[in-house]
Chains A and B, each alone.
Chain A
Amino acid sequence: MIPRWEYEDPEPFVKKLKELRERGVPADRIAVLMPYPVHGFEQIMGLKPSPLRFFTLGGALTGLVLGFAFPILTVRDWPLITGGKPLISIPPFVVIAFALTILLGALASFVGFLHLSRLPSVPGIQNPEEHGNRFVIEDHSEGVS
């Protein structure tokens, strides 16, 4: 039987969470469900900052490089001077690079989020676990140590 606590309010929930952590229960052994994020739960549970930022950075940098490389390569593929401007005009390409940085940064973040949070979750869709407005803690450390 897994020990389980349910709370209506965040204060006793946070208290219990702290208590469990102080007892030395590892964070990955505590399952927590929250209707909204309680302020500072990451610190209490000792969660590392989400690695999502690497997805964002990767996407944004890819967009930036692509945003310059693509116009430069295509204009070299068929050199066509328009308006008497140099073929490789950096200022106009900045606009493209800027847009693609944001676009790929945002999309990579979203994909990264889905990957890290294990979404979409088929069991979660078929049989969602509903806990209403309650804060739930489950201690899965029993029987492991």
Chain B
Amino acid sequence: MSRRAFFEGVERDVLAAMKRPRPSYWIALTAAALVFACGLALWGYQMVRGMGVAGIRHPVGWGVYITDFVFWVGIAHSGTLISAVLFLFRAGFRSSFNRFAEAMTVFAVMTAGLFPLIHLGRSWFFYWLFPYPSQRLLWVNFRSPLVWDVFAVSTYFTVSAVFFYVGLLPDLALIRRHTRGIRQWFYRVLSLGWAGTARQWNHYNQLYLFLAALATPLVVSVHSVVSWDFAMSMVPGWHTTIFAPYFVAGAIFSGTAMVLTLGIPMRRILGLEKYITKDHFESLTKMLLVTSLIVTYAYIVEIALAWYSGHKFETAHFSYRLFGHYRGMYAIMVICNCLLPLTLFVRKLRRNIPYLFVLSILVNVGMWLERFVIIVTALAKEYDPYSWGTYTPSWVEIGITAGSFGMFFTFFLLFTKLLPVLSITEIKEREE
């Protein structure tokens, strides 16, 4: 095929995905938006009735909301890994995934950012988290991991959003050629009048490289900071040095699974099989396998550390985590995160798309449970037997969690119709 035919083909195929949606799309969007709206309504209900409607109470003060926060921040990570780290490593399969993985990052951080506010109770005072000169003359405590979180997550959101937008620029200029009327104006303004001159490309390439280089440390740092929310405390099961790398590996693991969960149906529905090939999925699956092995290793190490320390409370905590009230969740977590991904050593399964789809969902379930188990088991049985207890999420918490998935999918579905889901410019470049 000639180069010109290929270029026109890429544009046609990727832009065809943005054409008038089919009824199934509207059904999916309506369903997601409804779930999102229900979640918002429940949040409103919680604000009116107070935090009593949530299941969190003494001794388990951190429950599903914090689990969701860690889960969604984690989901975001593999987007940055794919777009920034794989860019620096010049991995060819990156350009099949980077655009929608970056979108996933932005939407996941947005979703994650809501949970601390939901958890606050008096959400309308959220700005107290930021250091600003106030009448009370008080500043935030910069020695607190919760304040580090504010800085880490807001930096992460801003940098990912800028990176996403910068990557879109040449493609936005391209779409403007294929649209008419008000839609064209939308892309004209969004593309900032990009022309593709030598001078612009010169600065652009430099900018993209720098943003990739700046985003790369964020892949490691953001979830480390999130893990320190736990590790900096004196709670058995949390206070351990392995937490930062353990959380980072888990984040990339769950995020890669989410890229598969989103990418597999998207590729099929939008007819992008030509550009996102089985080989590309296989490369991604290898990343899933490696991070699964690291996560498994971390599970073993944290138990081994507790056992080797001989610390009474640490050992008690881990025997509770494995065999106590939440043992069922722990078992499902091990099956989903450690055992099932081992099947990916078989090449045939790595290339079996329906299998990967099912597996990616199970990994997401496993990773959500991992965070739940870490957070809840540690608080349920801390030091003093007088204050032991258990925690069951209330229907409000479950509803808000479902609503967060609704929000994420609403944004993602809108993205697939408003912006090109593959980087057309980069696919052309890759073809050279």
Contact = CB atoms under 8 A, between A and B. Distances in A.
A51 B217 CA distance: 23
Interface string B131-149: 1000001111111100110
Contacts of A37: 201, 204-205, 429
B193 A36 contact: no
Interface stretch (B29-37, B158-166, B308-316, B366-374): B158-166
Interface in B171-229: 173-174, 176-177, 188-189, 191-207, 210-211, 214-215, 217-218, 221, 225
Interface string A77-121: 110101101000100110110111011011101101110110111
Given A96-B148, A105-B214, A106-B214, A10 B202 contact: no
Label chain A's interface by main secondary structure. helix
Which range contains the number of A residues in contact with the other chain? Answer: 35 or more
Of B144, B158, B188, B200, which is in contact with the most chain A CB atoms at under 10 Å from its CB?
Answer: B200
Contact of A102 (B148, B159, B195, B197): B159
Contact of A74 (B142, B154, B166, B174): B142
B168 to A, nearest CB: 13
Given A10-B432, A49-B206, A107-B162, A31 B225 contact: no
Contact of B143 (A83, A106, A124, A132): A83
B278 to A, nearest CB: 26
A20 interface: no
A52 B207 contact: yes
Interface of B: 3-4, 7-8, 11, 131, 137-144, 147-148, 151-152, 154-155, 158-159, 162-163, 166, 170, 173-174, 176-177, 188-189, 191-207, 210-211, 214-215, 217-218, 221, 225, 425-426, 428-429, 432
Interface of A: 8-10, 30-37, 39, 41-42, 45, 47, 49-50, 52-53, 56, 60, 70-71, 74-75, 77-78, 80, 82-83, 85, 89, 92-93, 95-96, 98-100, 102-103, 105-107, 109-110, 112-114, 116-117, 119-126, 128-133
18 contacts: A9-B3, A32-B197, A41-B198, A52-B206, A52-B207, A77-B137, A80-B141, A100-B151, A102-B155, A102-B218, A106-B163, A106-B210, A106-B211, A109-B210, A110-B162, A124-B192, A125-B193, A130-B176
